Amino acid sequence: MVKVKLFANFREIIGRDEIEVSAITLLELLEFLANNYPKLRFLIFRNGEISDYVNVAVNGKIVKDYNIKLKYDDVVAIFPPVSGG
pLDDT in tens, 3-30: 999 999 999 999 999 999 999 999 999 9
User: Per CATH, the architecture of 2-79 is what?
Assistant: Roll (3.10)
Q: Report how far residue 9's alpha carbon sits from residue 78's, in angstroms, rounded to the nearest whole number.
A: 10
Q: What is the mean pLDDT of residues 65-73?
A: 96
Q: What is the mean pLDDT of the chain?
A: 93
Of 40, 38, 30, 33, nearest to 9 (Cα)?
Answer: 40
Residue of higher predicted confidence among 6 and 83: 6
pLDDT at 83: 57
SS3 content of the chain, % helix, strand, coil (to 5): 30, 30, 40
